[in-house]
Structure formats: C-alpha cells, structure tokens
C-alpha cells in the first residue's frame, strides 16, 4: 500500500498556483436594523462583520449547514435555518445570552423568508403541505407554535415572502422553480418567476395582485419603508441586477427601474436594511452592498477570524458503505471499495475474531478507484483509477504488496482506460480506451494491442463486466449500439483482433450483462425496452443439439466400470487428494503455470450462418436487473425487483432441469447488486444496501460478510476529488459539446480556490450547484445521496388548518380534512380544534409537528374540541410525508374532475398525470374508468407534470383510432381494441399544459401536437427537456448528469424551447382560493366545440 497524489490534488495545485490561496465563500448576507452590521454564512456557519467591511466573528458554529441568517427588527436576535435537525429547520439565536431556540420541526426543507416588522412573526416557505414540490408561505411566532399558511394557492408555488411595513400585505415570489434552483445562471421558461402581492390576509380568500410581468426571473422582493417602492432582483435585461418597482398602494405604478448595472455574474439573496438605504447581496462568492441614495454597488472586504465547525479529519471504521464488490475466483477473498478506496478481506472471516475483521487497505490515493477484477489465480487485482488526471488501469500484487500502473492512459476529455477483464489464462487484460477502442495488455510486459474499434461507455458509466472473454480465451463479447436507430446488440471479436460481428439482432435499446455459457456454446445477455420488463436472452453459437433425460440412464452402462480398489490405490488416491488440497489452500498455483491450465476447456466455436434464428428468451418471469452464471453452467443467479422489493433468485438453465422456475433466495428489501457465485456453487455473494452478504443456495440462509474498512476521512482531500469528478464528468458527458456557451475550463479555474476553501460537505455541494448552474441547463444538480439526509419521522394527520382561527384561539383549528387520510378515517371534522396529542396539551406555543415526531404508523390519540365546544378523543395512525402528499394530490384530481363535469354539463371527463412514471401510467389506466369512457370527450391535464419516460405509452392511449367492432351473440357491439385488451380512449380530447409541465411531459406535448390529438390549452411548457442520469460520486453525493439531446420532429432542440399552446391562458396566482380554474374553463370550451 502506498500513498499517491490524486487528480484533485494535482488540479488544486495547478489552479491555486494561478489563483492564489484557497478562498472562503461568503453567502446569504443580511443587515442589522441600524445597517451597521452584516450577518452571513461561510463554512456552513453564521458570522457577523461590520457592514463596511473588516474582521468577522463567529456567531453560530455547528457541523451541520446553517443558512439564511436574518436579524430581528430590534437587532437582539438572529433567526437562521439549520440542518442539524430535520432537513432544514428554523432556529433563533439570542445575541445577549447565546441561547438557541428551535422554532420549526418539519421533515421538509424550509426557507426563512423574513421577520414581520413588529417582530411577532417569522415568515417561512416550505413545500411540506402542498402537492409535489410546490411551496407555500407560512408564519410562526419566534416563541413557538404551529406554522400556519398565509399564502397557500393549491398546487402552485409561492415563496420568499416579504411582509409590508404595516403588515397588511405580503410581497412574494411566485411561479417557477427559482426557490429550488436559485443557483442556475440563466433560465428557461420554468425558471421564470414573478413578484406578486397578497393582501386582505385576514379574509377568507386573500387578494393576489401581480407586480412584475413574466418572461424573466424576478425574485427576493424588499419593501421601502414607506411602501412606495419594491426592490427585487431580476434578469429581465439578460444579466442579474437589482431593480426598483414604484408602487401606488398595493398596485405597481409605472415601469421598474434598474438600479445596478452588472453585465454578468450573479446577484443572489439580497436583503435590505430596516431603513432600506442599503441592500446587501451575494456576488462573486462574497458580500456586496448597494447604497440606494448613492446608486452605487461595491464589494465588502471581510476577513474571517475564527474556525468553522467543519473540516476535521475523521477516523472511521465502516462495515457498510460498500460501493463495489468482487469475489476472488478461489472464493476465499473479497475485494471491495468504500469512498473510492480499495480494500480486501476474507470471504469467511475468522469465527474466533469476535466481530468484523479489519479489511486490508489496498489503495490510499484520495482518488476514485473502481471496476475491480481479480486475476484467475486470485493473487492480483486490477482496477481503474482517475488519479493523476487520467483514467488508467492499476495492478496490485498481494504477494509482493506492490502496486503498479498497468496502462498509460491519456489525459483530457473523452480519454481513459477502463473496464478491465482478465483473460482465462491470466496473461492478458482486456479493456476499453476512450470509449472507442477495445484493447488488450500483456500483464507481464505491459505491451498493448488493439483488438477492435467499437462504441463503449466512458466514465462514469462503465463496469468491469462490459467485456467478456470466452472460456477458451479466443473470443471477446460485448454489447454496443449500432445503426441509425441505436439498437444495442451483442458482438463478438477474436481476441487477437479483427472486425466485431453481431450475434444478436434484437430491436431493443437496452442490452447488457453478457455472459458466456460454461462450455462456450452460447451467450446469455439482458435485453429490454424502457418501461418493459428486462428479459434474459440466449444465443446459441452453434446449432443446439437436444439432450434427453432418457440418456442419463443409458450413460450408466456406457462408461467402463471402475477398477477394483486396493489398499495401495486408496493410499495413492489419498496422497493425490492431500496434495490437491494443499495446493488449493495456497490459491492452487503460480500465475500461468501448467497447473492452471484446464485441459477440459473446449474450444469455443461459432457458426455465424443463421445465428439470428438461434436466439431465444428464457421464461424467467421476472424483471431482471443482473445475472451471473454458476461455475457448472447449470444455474443462473438473478437480481430482480418484484413489487419494488429487490431480491436474489436462481433459475435453472440446464436442459434436463425439471423445475424451470425462478427460486427466490432472499427476502430482505435492500437494494442488491454485484451478485457472484462461490466456486463450489453453494453460495452467492452480493452487495445489499452497502453491506457484503452471502446466501446459501440450498438453505436460503443469508449471512453478512463482516469486514470493516478503516480510514481517515479527510474532507480537505475528498473535496478536491468530488470537485474533479463533478467537473470532469460534465466535461466528458454533458449533452452539448459547447456547454451552452460556458467556458468550462475557465469555470474550473474560477471555482477551484472556492472549493479549496470549503469547510463542509453541504458548503461544497452549494458551490458545486453554483458551478453546474453556469451551464444554464435543466436536469442538473448536486444533491445528498442515500443516507446523507435525514429520513422523514414526523407523523402526518391529513389535516389543513384555519390560520385566522388558529392564531386567534391559540390551538390548531381544522379547515380541511383530506379524504381517506388518518383524520378522515378517525372522524375528525372541519371546525375541530386539537387540544392535546397523547395527553400532552396543545397551547399557543406548542408546535404540533414536535408532538408528532416519530409517530408514523403508531397509535396517536387526539383530544378534540368541536365547533360546538364538545370534547372527544379519537385514535388514529399518522402517515409519512409522501403518503399525505399523495392524498392531497388525489383530492385535487377529484376536485378537478368534478369541476370539468360541472363546467361541461356532464359531457366531459377528466384525467391528470402527476408525472410520466410507470406508476402514473398505471394510474392513468385506472382513471380512464367507465365514467370517463362514457363521456363525449375527455380533458387531459399534464399541468405540473414533472416528467419521466412513459410519454409514448400514454400517447398510445389517446392516439389509437377505432377500426373494428366486435359483437358477441347476445351482447351489444364493443370497440375491438378495448375488447381485445388494448388501452384506447377513442374520444375527442384536449390537452392542458402550464409552465411546470416539464421534461417527458414536454415530449408528450410535442407528440400530442405532432399526432394532431386535439388543441393544447394553457401555457407553454417548461423548456426543460434533456435526458439525465444520476451519478453517485465517491462519497455518495449524487450528480445529475444530462447527456442525451432531445429534438422535435423537425430536428430542433427542445431544451430551452418550450412547447407552444394553441390557446394561451395564464392562470393567475391565488386562483384556487376563489374555486376557479381558468385554464380548465378554456379547455372545456375548446373541447365542447368539437362535440356539439
């Protein structure tokens, strides 16, 4: 084991030489009421500095991320958001005592918007109580209590509230996704937002007034003290700047005026002083201030004095977090990766160890290692690594404890050596270079040769199993796309080089997991189309000779009888067996020795004539994820998910098997991968939820392979590798080679000092999001991975509350009971007040979410006071966040269905698709029920549809036309499609879209228009349509990686270009309070024209 510099280390050294020392990032500033002090965040902590610049002092330090600090109007407190609990809760710091009070207890992330001018309320934005990711505005006392809605237009986004000086109105940001993607530099339609006013706050239905027009990103409203001006950020002229909108009471008065004159860069998180003479904002990773009177902006020079809470080196001993697993051919060792480093351990740890054994650390590079492959003699391990700025193969010899570079690799984009695979004799390793070459390297000499040109994946979408040797080492098999339609099939090429030839000819987009039969006579592989079950295909390389069960009895007489055994022959047999056991105990033999040769291995022969006709599908009956053939070639190990539960199965592939059915071995619900056979065929090894497991094939008893990976996790090193991974993956894989006009190398140079100055992982993710935001593209982001955010634990009742009555009475009073929710089933009614939870009194300062913490699926007793003063108790079982959101969504769908029915006089039906997932497609089939099918037409609604991949299947339902009628004797005529089981509506339709119809919903809209299925009503779609992949980085962080361009039927890019509508209707924010839906009104009117 030796330490080597990683790509990130070299990159940092190069960049920091040019840019100077690591620099801290200062973010989200706000001013004290007197304008003399500014608070901001850096290193994930809260700091304070003089507003004119100078030394900053640390106010709040915690390993978790702190954000959005805001002074109270009296300057005695600072409210902020902290991820130390939940996924972002509001806290209040008392500056005199240093005491910190938690105010909110919700599972969902919350954004702190503002204090009320009198300090009585904190305004918070959250998506917790609306459908999907839509935000609403709430307020809560800084002393405690349950947050209550102030602006909560159903299934619409409202956020970043600013209360007016007199507290009688709110300026809010509405529409678009700026609240979640504020880091995007540029915009499409979905990123456009507007400033609105919400007044008549104490009325049953508040009044909404639009302040800024659409077509731009306008956000972060701030009031002047006299309420005659609203300040805000907008990119309406291309660059982000501060603007001022004159106001006449609660209405805009004239055109807005630009205050700053930036031509590039960002203006983020602006906040004004109480007298509104100064506005501070985030720009160029620092704090800037704008003097209103002087009409001048400048950077505020701030020096940090203090140590942020994060950044310490942590020694960890992990038995989980395994990212990749490789079982040695002798079945005695496992190699695995944790946080990108390679470890090895015994496959059967010492029973006397008393616990997990410390694994042997193979690499210590601070770079990413992956794609592990053992040599046939189980003595050496090859893997790919991106150290030194290039992907290449490295070889570790366990006997000598030495590591060496096996290939030279190549620096730069679209380069690199990956996907190593040992030849059966251990002399060579096949690999791919740059995604376009299949090569082989001689292990002893290092000499390389080109085997074939092809189309292979590049990092990070590669794997050690992408290429497979035939059992005799003569052939290499792999899958690759070819042809104008990109169908993926299996090819073979002679290992000494040549032209690859196809051996499969399926018209499917997805093919992989190639495996040779044990005797080399056939190939297995997985093939599928998206949304269809993945099947196991078999290609017989030679015409298949049938085997007969009857032959097994005949064979008993065809073999010669064994000779008589004497004492001498038995002794000789035992000596041979003893020698064999001794050799096997030390991995059988030295590399490339004669003992390693398998004289029984048959030469692989391929008959290409008529090979297309020799493909068959194994009737496995599962949607298969991965396969592994047993050493004797008689059983196929399968990982597959049934009802969302991934498990391991075995399926017989022996011609003489009598029980040709998949047999389930595991019953746990964790994700499973890297399934591999032990050499004796008795156990299967696999990864499950980051742990190494083995299951006995006969008994189905699973056991953990207890191995602990010990390491020092040094964030100072890891952050460089994460930065390098994210930047290089986008360099090599982003769908647009021009990066939407961004200079991607310059972006790296600019961000490197800031990344070097990051102190915590959340701060690093924030910087990386700002970096990817420079691409001005959709489907991007850097997010916590599995286990890196806190799971939901707050119970949900299925209730919505009346803010006015609740604030008046000091207890939550019910305004809405969600159908089929826990409260509805228990008999809670509108007007009920919640007086207690499990005997704990609910008061004005009690947060209901706090009382419902860790109550999901548990019995909870609510003490209720009815509208008539009657007291009663009800018992219920709270649900989780997503379940309640699902109930809210279904209630909204039913209300829209009733709305269309009423508006059309009962003539029209209605369906809505939440997204374009397989689950939503199945729900569409259910919603197109007998009632909808009996209408004269159907309104199809994809507003707020977040996309997916089933647009083509959904279009089929509406696009199929009738051509046959069937009539069974004694029954009436029926449409043939429906009678034969094919989904088809066969009715006039109209489509409704809006700004939040994105991704695959835009594919659906384009298909709808191209196929002429009916008019499109509403707003143009999001302009968010490129296909993306989620890539896990070294530490588990997830990078969204868009790599597939989508064009319309005319060949024009759809990204940044919304799909148009035939009838433009922009739905006003706040419309749901009045019980109106103007877009559905227009859709009904259009469709009625077609059926009258």
CA distances in angstroms from 858 to 812, 836, 877, listed in the order given: 21, 16, 5
Round to whole Å and give the CA distance between 603 and 470. Answer: 9
Residue 504 has what DSSP assignment? -
Q: What average pLDDT does this structure show over 1054-1076? A: 98
Round to whole Å and give the CA distance between 869 and 865. Answer: 6
| Cβ partners under 8 Å of residue 179, min gap 6 | 111, 125, 135, 157, 159, 160, 173
Q: What tokens appear for 481 in the block?
A: 């796309």
Positive or negative: CA dihedral 251, 257, 259, 260: positive
Question: DSSP assignment of 238-305, as one string?
Answer: SS-EEEEEEEETTEE-S--EE----SSS--EEEEE-TTSSEEEEEETTEEEEEETTTTEEEE--EEE-
Q: What is the 3-state secondary structure (H, E, C) of 645-683?
A: EEEEEEEECCCCCCCCCCEECCCCCCCEEEEEECCCCCE
Round to whole Å and give the CA distance between 283 and 751. Answer: 13
Other residues' Cβ atoms within 10 Å of the Cβ of residue 713: 15
What is the domain partition of the chain in residue ranges? 799-879, 883-1091
Question: Each residue of 611-622: pLDDT tens digit?
Answer: 999 999 999 999
Q: What average pLDDT does this structure show over 798-817? A: 97
Mean pLDDT lowest for which of 62-76, 440-454, 463-477, 1041-1055?
463-477
β-pairing verdict for 302-304 and 54-60: parallel
Mean pLDDT lowest for which of 596-600, 846-850, 955-959, 1070-1074?
596-600
Round to whole Å and give the CA distance between 37 and 51. Answer: 5
Q: What average pLDDT does this structure show over 820-845? A: 98
pLDDT at 588: 36
Round to whole Å and give the CA distance between 980 and 832. Answer: 51
Q: Which residue bears the tokens 């496995």?
A: 620
The count of residues in the chain is 1092
Exposed e or buried b per residue across 3-22, where buried means at least 16 C-beta atoms within 10 angstroms of its C-beta: ebbbbbbbbbeebeeebeee
Tell me which CATH code domain 799-879 carries.
Answer: 2.30.42.10
- Pick the residue with more confidence: 411 or 777? 777
Q: Is 393:406 a contact under the CB 8 Å cutoff?
A: yes
Round to whole Å and give the CA distance between 637 and 684. Answer: 8
**pTM exceeding the 0.85 threshold for the entire prediction:** yes
SS3 assignment, position 888:
helix
Residue 191 has what DSSP assignment? G
Round to whole Å and give the CA distance between 498 and 453. Answer: 9
Q: What average pLDDT does this structure show over 648-653? A: 97
pLDDT at 581: 42
Q: Which residue bears the tokens 């599972």?
A: 107
SS3 assignment, position 780:
coil
Q: 580 falls in which pLDDT band (50, 70, 90)? A: very low
Q: Is 210 exposed, middle or buried (0-12, 13-18, 19+ CB in 10 A)?
A: middle
pLDDT at 388: 82
Question: Each residue of 317-339: pLDDT tens digit?
Answer: 888 899 999 999 999 999 999 99
Domain 883-1091 in CATH 3.90.226.10? The answer is: yes
Q: 351 falls in which pLDDT band (50, 70, 90)? A: low
Q: What tokens appear for 201 in the block?
A: 């706050």
pLDDT at 564: 58
CA distances in angstroms from 896 to 903, 911, 935, 1009, 1079, listed in the order given: 10, 9, 15, 23, 11
Q: Is 431:451 a contact under the CB 8 Å cutoff?
A: no
Round to whole Å and give the CA distance between 537 and 517. Answer: 12
Residues marked as catalytic: 779, 999, 1055
Question: Each residue of 585-594: pLDDT tens digit?
Answer: 333 333 333 3
Sheet holding 663-664, edge to edge: 624-629, 635-642, 645-652, 663-664
Round to whole Å and give the CA distance between 396 and 379. Answer: 9
Question: Each residue of 835-892: pLDDT tens digit?
Answer: 999 999 999 999 999 999 999 999 999 999 999 999 999 999 999 999 999 999 999 9
Rg (CA), the chain: 33
Round to whole Å and give the CA distance between 715 and 327. Answer: 30
Element containing residue 309 per DSSP (H, E): none
Crossing angle for the helix pair 1078-1091 and 881-903, nearest 10 degrees?
50
Question: DSSP assignment of 620-633, as one string?
Answer: --S-EEEEEE-TTS
CA distances in angstroms from 177 to 12, 127, 219, 222, listed in the order given: 33, 12, 11, 20
With residues binned 3-state (H G I as helix, E B as strand, rest as coil), the percentages for the chain, rounded to 5, are: 20, 35, 45
């Amino acid at each position: 084991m030796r330490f080597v510099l990683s790509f990130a280390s070299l990159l940092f050294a190069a960049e920091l030489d040019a840019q100077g020392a690591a620099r801290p990032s200062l973010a989200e500033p706000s001013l004290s009421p007197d304008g003399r002090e500014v608070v901001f965040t850096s290193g994930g902590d809260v700091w304070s500095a003089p507003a004119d610049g100078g030394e900053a002092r640390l106010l709040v330090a915690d390993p978790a991320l702190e954000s959005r600090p805001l002074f109270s109007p009296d300057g005695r407190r600072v409210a902020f958001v902290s991820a130390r609990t939940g996924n972002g809760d509001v806290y209040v710091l008392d500056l005199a005592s240093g005491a910190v009070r938690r105010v909110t207890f919700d599972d969902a992330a919350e954004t702190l918007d503002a204090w009320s001018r009198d300090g009585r309320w904190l305004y918070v934005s959250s998506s917790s109580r609306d459908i999907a990711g839509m935000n609403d505005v709430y307020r809560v006392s800084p002393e405690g209590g349950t947050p209550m809605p102030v602006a909560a237009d159903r299934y619409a986004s409202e956020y970043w509230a600013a209360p007016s000086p007199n507290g009688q109105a709110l300026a809010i940001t509405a529409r678009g996704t700026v609240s979640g993607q504020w880091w995007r530099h540029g915009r499409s339609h979905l990123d456009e937002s507007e400033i609105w006013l919400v007044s008549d706050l104490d009325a049953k239905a508040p009044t909404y007034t639009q302040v800024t027009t659409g077509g731009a990103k306008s956000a972060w409203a701030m009031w002047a003290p006299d309420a005659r001006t609203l300040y805000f950020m907008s990119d309406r002229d291309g660059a982000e700047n501060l603007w001022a909108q004159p106001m006449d009471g609660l209405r805009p008065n004239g055109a807005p005026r630009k205050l700053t004159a930036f031509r590039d860069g960002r203006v983020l998180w602006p906040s004004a002083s109480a007298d509104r003479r100064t506005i501070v904002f985030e720009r160029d990773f620092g704090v800037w201030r704008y003097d209103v009177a002087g009409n001048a902006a400048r950077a505020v020079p701030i020096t940090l004095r203090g140590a942020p809470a994060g950044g310490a080196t942590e020694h960890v001993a992990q038995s989980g977090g395994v990212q990749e697993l490789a079982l040695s051919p002798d079945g005695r060792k496992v190699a695995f990766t944790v946080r990108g480093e390679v470890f090895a351990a015994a496959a059967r740890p010492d029973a006397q160890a008393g616990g997990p054994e410390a694994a042997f650390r193979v690499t210590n590079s601070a770079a990413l290692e992956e794609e592990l492959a053992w040599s046939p003699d189980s003595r050496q391990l090859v893997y790919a690594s991106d150290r030194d700025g290039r992907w290449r193969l490295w070889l570790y010899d366990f006997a000598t404890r030495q590591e060496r570079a096996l290939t030279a690799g190549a620096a730069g984009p679209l380069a690199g050596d990956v996907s190593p695979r040992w030849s059966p004799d251990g002399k060579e390793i096949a690999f791919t270079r740059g995604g376009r070459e299949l090569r082989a390297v001689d292990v002893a000499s290092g000499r390389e040769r080109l085997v074939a040109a092809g189309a292979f994946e590049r990092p990070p979408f590669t794997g050690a199993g992408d290429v497979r040797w035939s059992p005799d080492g003569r052939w290499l098999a792999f899958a690759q796309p070819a042809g104008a339609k990109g169908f993926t099939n299996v090819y073979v090429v002679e290992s000494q080089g040549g032209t690859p030839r196809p051996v499969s000819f399926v018209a499917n987009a997805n093919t992989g997991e190639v495996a040779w039969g044990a005797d080399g006579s056939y190939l297995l592989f997985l093939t599928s189309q998206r949304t269809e079950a993945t099947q196991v295909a078999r290609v017989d390389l030679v015409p298949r000779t049938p085997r007969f069960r009857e032959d097994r009895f005949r064979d008993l007489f065809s073999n010669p009888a064994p000779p008589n055994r004497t004492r001498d022959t038995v002794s000789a047999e035992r000596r041979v067996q003893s020698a064999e056991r001794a050799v096997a105990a030390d991995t059988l033999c030295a590399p490339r020795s004669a003992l390693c040769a398998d004289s029984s291995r048959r030469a692989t022969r391929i008959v290409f004539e008529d090979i297309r006709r020799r493909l068959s599908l194994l009737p496995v009956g599962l949607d298969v994820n991965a396969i592994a053939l047993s050493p004797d070639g008689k059983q196929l190990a399968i990982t597959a998910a049934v009802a969302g539960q991934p498990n391991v199965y075995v399926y017989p592939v022996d011609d003489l098997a009598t029980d040709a059915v998949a047999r389930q071995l595991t019953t746990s619900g964790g994700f499973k991968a890297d399934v591999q056979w032990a050499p004796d065929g008795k156990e299967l090894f696999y990864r499950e939820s980051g742990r190494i497991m083995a299951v006995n094939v006969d008994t189905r008893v699973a056991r953990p392979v207890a191995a602990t990976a010990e390491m020092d996790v040094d964030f100072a090193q890891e952050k460089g590798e994460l930065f390098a991974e994210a930047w290089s993956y986008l360099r090599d894989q982003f769908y647009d080679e021009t990066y939407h006009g961004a200079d991607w190398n310059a972006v790296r140079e600019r961000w490197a000092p800031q990344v070097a100055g990051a102190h915590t992982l959340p701060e690093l993710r924030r910087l990386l999001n700002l970096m990817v935001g420079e691409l001005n593209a959709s489907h991007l982001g850097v997010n916590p991975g599995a286990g890196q955010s806190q799971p939901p634990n707050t119970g949900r009742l299925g209730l919505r509350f009346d803010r006015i009555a609740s604030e008046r009475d000091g207890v939550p009073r019910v305004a809405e009971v969600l159908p089929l929710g826990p409260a509805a089933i228990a008999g809670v009614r509108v007007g009920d007040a919640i007086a207690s939870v499990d005997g704990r009194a609910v008061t004005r300062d009690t947060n209901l979410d706090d009382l419902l913490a860790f109550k999901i699926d548990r019995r909870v007793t609510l003490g209720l006071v009815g509208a008539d003063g009657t007291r009663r108790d009800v018992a219920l079982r709270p649900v989780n966040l997503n379940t309640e959101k699902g109930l809210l969504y279904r209630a909204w769908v039913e209300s829209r269905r009733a709305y269309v029915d009423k508006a059309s006089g009962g003539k029209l039906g209605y369906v809505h698709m939440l997204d374009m997932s397989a689950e939503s497609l199945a729900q569409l089939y259910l919603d197109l029920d007998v009632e909808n099918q009996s209408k004269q037409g159907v309104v199809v609604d994809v507003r707020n549809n977040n996309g997916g991949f089933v647009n083509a299947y959904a279009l089929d339902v509406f696009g199929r036309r009738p051509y046959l009628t069937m009539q069974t004797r004694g029954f009436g005529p029926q449409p043939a499609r429906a009678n034969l089981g094919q989904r088809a509506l066969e009715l006039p339709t109209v489509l409704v879209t809006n700004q939040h119809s994105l991704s695959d919903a835009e594919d659906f809209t384009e298909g709808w228009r191209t196929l002429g299925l009916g008019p499109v009503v509403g707003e143009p779609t999001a302009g968010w349509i490129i296909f993306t992949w989620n890539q896990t980085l070294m530490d588990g962080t997830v990078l969204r990686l868009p790599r597939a361009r989508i064009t319309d039927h005319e060949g024009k890019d759809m990204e940044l270009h919304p799909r148009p509508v035939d009838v433009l209707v922009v739905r006003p924010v706040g419309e749901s309070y009045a019980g109106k839906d103007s877009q559905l009104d227009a859709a009904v009117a259009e469709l009625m024209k077609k059926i009258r």
